[in-house]
Copies of this chain bind each other. A is one copy, B any other.
Amino acid sequence: MQTQRLAQIMQERGVRRTPQRLAVWRLFAEEPGLTIREAVRALEPAGIGQATVYRSVKALEGAGLLLGFPAPRGELRYAAVLDHVHLLVCERCRAVRRLHECRLGGYEAEVEQKTGYRVRGHTLVVYGLCPRCREGGEP
A positions within 8 Å CB-CB of B: 36, 57-58, 61-62, 68-70, 72-74, 76, 88, 90-91, 97, 99, 103-104, 107-108, 111-112, 115-131, 134
How many monomers of this chain does the complex have? 2
The answer, among B118, B130, B134, for a CB contact under 8 Å with A134, is B118
Smallest Cβ distance from A36 to chain B, in angstroms? 8
Question: Residues of B contacting A62 with CB < 8 Å?
Answer: 72
The answer, among B36, B74, B107, for a CB contact under 8 Å with A68, is B74
Q: Establish whether residues B111 and A126, one from each chain, have CB atoms under 8 Å apart when the complex forms.
A: yes
Smallest Cβ distance from A40 to chain B, in angstroms? 13
Cα distance, A126 to B120, chains bound together (Å): 8
A70 and B69 contact, Cβ closer than 8 Å, known pairs A119-B127, A120-B127, A120-B129: yes
Q: Establish whether residues A117 and B134, one from each chain, have CB atoms under 8 Å apart when the complex forms.
A: yes
Q: Establish whether residues B70 and A70, one from each chain, have CB atoms under 8 Å apart when the complex forms.
A: yes
Residue of B nearest to A76 (CB): B76
Q: Establish whether residues B115 and A88, one from each chain, have CB atoms under 8 Å apart when the complex forms.
A: yes
A111 and B99 contact, Cβ closer than 8 Å, known pairs A119-B127, A122-B125, A127-B121: yes
